[in-house]
Amino acid sequence: MNEERNAIPLIITGICCILGTVGTLWYYGYLHFAKPEDALLLNQFTMLKTVPGEDYKISVTPATEVAQCIDGVLVLFDTAQKGLSGVLINEKKQAVRCAGEETPQQLQP
């Protein structure tokens, strides 16, 4: 009963399980490997201030990003790259708030 066990099959099984789990999570979209081109910097966006009575020109083609107000914060979704989203922030790392949706202050019973 004092047999020595071979640990190599256990190590190989563990590595295969980890690789299989990561592969499955990636395949179903629960895991995203970020690339440098996925990151959108704040300086890639410009605020166009509208002044009454003054004309301004914008492109007819819409951007690939779509904004939505979630819990009072402006969230950008990229329609070109599946699963890529982010919160729009200013230079002080403060989230840009939405005025179109009321932010719940407390839960009501």
- Delimit the domains of the chain by residue range: 1-31, 35-102
Any idea of the CA torsion for 99, 102, 104, 109, to the nearest 10 degrees? 180
Interval 10-54: pLDDT, tens:
999 999 999 999 999 989 888 877 776 666 554 567 777 778 888
| Contact between 79 and 66 (Cβ < 8 Å) | yes
Q: 0.75 exceeded by the pTM?
A: no
